[in-house]
Structure formats: C-alpha cells, structure tokens
Structure 1
C-alpha cells in the first residue's frame, strides 16, 4: 500500500497548485528577511524552539531545545545564537548544520497561538567570546548554533487552536498514553535491559544530568 501511494504521489508544484488556491496576499506580505524588533521580542519570550535540519543527502531531523524564556540570544545585528545544552550527545542537529549550513526554527511561547518561524544560514561556533555572551542552560555550553535569518514569518495560530495544546482539559491522561520507559524499551530491543532499569535511568537523567 505504501509503495502504491508513493508511486502515485504529486511530483510538481504545478500539480499542487491545481488543488490549492494561491496564498492570501497578507500571508505573502508578512514574510520578512531579517530579525526586526517584533521578532526579537517574540524570541525573548520563548522558552522552547524546534530546530529542523537535514544532512547532505536530504535526511531530515527535528529536535526541541528548551530553557528559560530568553535563553536564545539575538545579537545587536540580529544574529540568533542558540546555546547547546546537556543532552544525548548524538549531535544530529550540529552535524547536519556543519554539513549543509542551513537550519529552520519555530519559536513557541506557552499559551500563545502565534509562533515565529525562522529559516536561514547557520554554523556551529565554539568561540569563547561568543559562549561567554549567551545564557547558560545548566552547564556552560561547549558550542552554540549561530543563525543568520533570511526568512522570518509570524505563523498563524490555527494548528495550536485546532490541537487544543494549551488547554489542559483536552490532554489525554497519562495512563491513556504509552509509558515513556516502555517506548524506549521497545525501541532499544535489548531483552537484557528491563523497563524498570530504563525508567530509573530516565529519572536519574532528569534529577542529575539536566544541568
């Protein structure tokens, strides 16, 4: 079934435009090419940003980065600086940026429907002078992502409204969701490691390795 769907896929922008109307004029006009004061203010309010990147072969990755509101810095010239933080050390995003020099960002503000989308040129920096200027998320960062925006877009709130993501009364109770340790256990696929061991490791990670 999957192969049939890919074989019958839309393959051109012309085919897409045959089923979608052109975007509204305001949707086109509100894209800007650099960080202005409004974008700077939104970034300062955001404690969570999603980073999208791809390697040289087009394999994509999206990862969240979080910290206190304003943990992402915007320098005087509008350059965005995202400090690295203690994580799983897979360095997927950093590796992709080193290979392609591009990144996409979505800044999210809790309780707010509108988000901020930023695409641009990117690099990984370990400059001591730069790292001393950024907000630490726990330990001092070993590196930081530097982003020069060329597309900045205040994204409409429809996805957040439709999902009810900021409405706790719409959330599924935890016992109706897959247990985090059981998810990891299934994906690791090692019978010598128990669910209880994984659960303990996850607790320890948040208790002792968050900073």
Structure 2
C-alpha cells in the first residue's frame, strides 16, 4: 500500500508493482468451443472457471485491502502528520465495524501487508494498539505512550537518568496514568545509542 499526502488529504492506493497481473489467455479460452470431444471441452471449461474464480478472488482481496488501509489511514491521520506520539488507540474491532467486516477478516488482511508512507514502511498490524486511560477520561495508545517515554529518556541527562517513578510521574503530569512496569518496558540503551552526538 502506498500512502501520500495530495492537496492536503492523505491518499491510499495499491502498489501496482506488487500486484500480480492475471488474465485469461483468449487462445485457450476459445479452445473450449473447438474441443475434439465433450471430455476435452469439460476439462477446458472447468479450468477456465477456476481461472476466473482465482482472478475474481484476487480482485476482491485487493479491494478489501484497500478499504481496510484507507480506514486505518483515516483513523490514524495524526500519526501520519505528527508521528508516534499522536497514534490513536485502535483495535481490530474498530476497523471491522467501520468497514462492516468480521474481525478475523481484518486480522488476515493486515497480516504481512505493508504500508509505505512518508513516515516509513509499517506493517498494517503496527497501527493496532491497546487503549490506556488518561486522567481526562480519554484514551491513549500504548504506541503513543512508548513514544513519549522514549522522548523523555532521549532528553534526559545520561549521567543522571530519570527513574522509572519519575518517568511515570512526568507522564501523569500530561494526564497519562500508567503503571511503572509500562515505563520499564522501554529499553533505555537503544534510545541513548540512537541519540548520541556525531
């Protein structure tokens, strides 16, 4: 899936380079009428029907993938505009309800399917994260909370790192109530090595 901003709106389209282009060879299709006997005709007709079914199934899968991807991008516009800290909480059921499909279909469609955007390449599953309640009665995504923790850790003095309790307190000041263990899950070593001065 390709995501771009065009005239102030986010657009989603299938990556045509990754879509198999199947079509029925008309030479073989016409052989059905010129078969030597009924068995040959039936064999050709059966295979022709299977080929049509396969093509229709792939088209249907691509349509579903496009609908689901567009819905995800619509729900997560703030992420595409401003980054991980603005990721909204979203679960499979949210998209399933929006596109009127079963959750299992959404799960299948988003597995090992990728979205290429100005922010990078992401598996569609990446956009689903659990809800964490905020002080104001709203919700934040666990992805956004991890991004905030990473930002706080990246800004800390490595010689005097913030304690997990202090990080939890700083998040609380922003209205995000999380357990200390949530903060502990973010590995500091990778954050500091990523922000070392050149």
Tell whether the structures are fold-level matches, with TM greater than 0.5: no
TM-score interval, normalised by the smaller of the two chains:
under 0.3
Provide TM-score, normalisation by structure 2. Answer: 0.23
Flag the structure with larger Rg.
2
Provide TM-score, normalisation by structure 1. Answer: 0.22
Higher relative contact order (CA 8 A, sep 6+): 1
Considering fraction of residues, name the structure with more strand.
1
Considering fraction of residues, name the structure with more helix.
2
